[in-house]
């Protein structure tokens, strides 16, 4: 399985304090209409840490029901405890997930050997395709390329979501790990790094921006994978102001505020994440007034 394309890191919409199931269905169908390759549920953007076990099961069940057979269904199952991660991965498999997205254990700050053994235990016990998720800014520890090369040799490991923010490391991973294992997929975890990652030989992106701009992100990735870098650069340049804005505060605060402004199902983030600061909301309004792309909103910007 060589994962290539646009995978949307889905938000989890709320109505007040409750899971907005109808809103989740609406968002999923909009993504499928844009022909995304896959949908990622219960990741960082999906606020997995604040959901109950019952809510997690409902999100997976809805995602599988709506998207199975139309797009790949990826589910974030990683925790900072190996046994708990295995149990969540087994549950995701039973519910019909195609791939488990497993973040490096956070807070514990394991050694490189501990990281390897964590993934080793999961791969041998959970029996679901695994996409590793390297994001040192959240987990506190980086997966070094040598460690990732060991992980890539494990059964059921299909690639990595690379969100280290280090383009030199990304290039090293593509050269070293994908060079040795040609079907090992390297996906960008940062929208702004998608184009350079594909130019280096990567396979696409797990995108926050595609919650709001699915058609554009699919077009960018499709063009880049086809070698049409002129078109890909045009789309990248048009979206770059958004790429810069979407992490102006902790993800998913900006994307949920933007979707709400565009009358798309979102709701507020759950505590401890708060709402977008007033000054940044004003910047968002200004951004929508100037961005030169189709957007799904009908009432927020003259450019729409």
Q: Residue 90 falls within a domain, yes or no?
A: yes
Mean pLDDT across the stretch 190-197?
96
Instruction: Determine whether 94 is an active site residue.
Output: no
Encode pLDDT of 168-184 as tens digits: 999 999 999 999 999 99
The yes-or-no verdict on residue 275 having pLDDT over 80 is: yes
Encode pLDDT of 53-108 as tens digits: 999 999 999 999 999 999 999 999 999 999 999 999 999 999 999 999 999 999 99
Q: Residue 166 falls within a domain, yes or no?
A: yes
pLDDT band at residue 299 under the 50/70/90 scheme: very low
Mean pLDDT across the stretch 214-237?
97
The yes-or-no verdict on residue 300 having pLDDT over 80 is: no
Contact (CB, 8 A) for 21 and 51: no
- Provide the number of structural domains found in the chain: 1
Q: Residue 30 falls within a domain, yes or no?
A: yes
Distance CA 56, CA 37 (A): 22
Q: Residue 186 falls within a domain, yes or no?
A: yes
Encode pLDDT of 41-54 as tens digits: 999 999 999 999 99
Q: Residue 74 falls within a domain, yes or no?
A: yes
User: Annotated catalytic residue: which of 88, 93, 158, 161?
Assistant: 161
User: Annotated catalytic residue: which of 133, 256, 268, 292?
Assistant: 133
pLDDT band at residue 301 under the 50/70/90 scheme: very low
At residue 44, the pLDDT reads: 94
Q: Residue 295 falls within a domain, yes or no?
A: no
Q: Which residues contact 176 (CB under 8 A, 6 or more apart)?
A: 145, 149
Average per-residue pLDDT in the chain? 93
Quote the pTM value.
0.93
Domain that holds residue 32: 5-229
pLDDT band at residue 295 under the 50/70/90 scheme: very low
Instruction: Determine whether 106 is an active site residue.
Output: no
- What does the DSSP assignment read for the chain? ----EEEEE----EETTEE-HHHHHHHHHHHHHTT-SEEEESSTTTTGGG--HHHHHHHHHHHHHHHTTTSEEEEE---SSHHHHHHHHHHHHHTT-SEEEEEPPPSS---HHHHHHHHHHHHHHH-S-EEEEE-HHHHS----HHHHHHHHTSTTEEEEEE-SS-HHHHHHHIIIIIHHSTT-EEEESSGGGHHHHHHHT--EEEESGGGT-HHHHHHHHHHHHTT-HHHHHHHHHHHHHHHHHTTSSSTTHHHHHHHHHTT-S--PPPTTS-PPPHHHHHHHHHHHHH--S--S-SSS-TT-
The yes-or-no verdict on residue 303 having pLDDT over 80 is: no
**What is the CATH classification number for the domain harbouring 99?**
3.20.20.70
At residue 289, the pLDDT reads: 81
At residue 293, the pLDDT reads: 56
At residue 77, the pLDDT reads: 97
Distances (CA, A) of 7 to 128, 129, 130: 18, 16, 15
Mean pLDDT across the stretch 224-228?
98
Q: Residue 95 falls within a domain, yes or no?
A: yes
Q: Residue 286 falls within a domain, yes or no?
A: no
Mean pLDDT across the stretch 227-254?
96
At residue 137, the pLDDT reads: 84
Mean pLDDT across the stretch 179-193?
95
At residue 248, the pLDDT reads: 95
């Amino acid at each position: 399985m060589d994962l290539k394309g646009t995978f949307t890191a889905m938000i989890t919409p709320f109505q007040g304090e409750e899971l907005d199931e109808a809103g989740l269905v609406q968002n999923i169908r909009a993504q499928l209409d844009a022909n995304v390759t896959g949908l990622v549920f219960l990741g960082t953007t999906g606020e997995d840490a604040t959901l109950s076990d019952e809510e997690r099961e409902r999100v997976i069940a809805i995602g599988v029901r709506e998207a199975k057979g139309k797009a790949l269904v990826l589910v974030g199952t990683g925790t900072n405890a190996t046994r708990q991660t295995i149990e969540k991965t087994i549950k995701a498999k039973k519910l019909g997930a195609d791939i488990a997205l497993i973040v490096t254990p956070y807070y514990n700050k394991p050694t490189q050997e501990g990281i390897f053994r964590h993934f080793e235990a999961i791969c041998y016990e959970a029996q679901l395709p695994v996409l590793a998720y390297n994001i040192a800014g959240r987990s506190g520890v980086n997966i070094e390329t040598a460690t990732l090369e060991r992980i890539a040799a494990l059964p059921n490991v299909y690639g990595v979501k690379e969100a280290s923010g280090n383009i030199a490391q990304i290039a090293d991973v593509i050269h070293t790990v994908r060079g040795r294992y040609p079907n090992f997929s390297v996906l960008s975890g940062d929208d702004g790094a998608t184009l350079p990652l594909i130019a280096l030989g990567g396979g696409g992106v797990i995108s926050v921006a595609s919650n709001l701009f699915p058609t554009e992100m699919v077009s960018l990735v499709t063009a880049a994978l086809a070698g049409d870098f002129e078109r890909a650069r045009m789309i990248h340049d048009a979206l770059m102001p958004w790429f810069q804005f979407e992490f102006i505060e902790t993800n998913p605060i900006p994307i949920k505020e933007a979707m709400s402004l565009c009358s798309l199902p979102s709701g507020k983030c759950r505590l401890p994440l708060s709402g977008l600061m007033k000054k940044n909301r004003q910047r968002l309004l200004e951004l929508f007034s100037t961005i030169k792309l189709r957007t799904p909103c009908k009432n927020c910007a003259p450019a729409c």
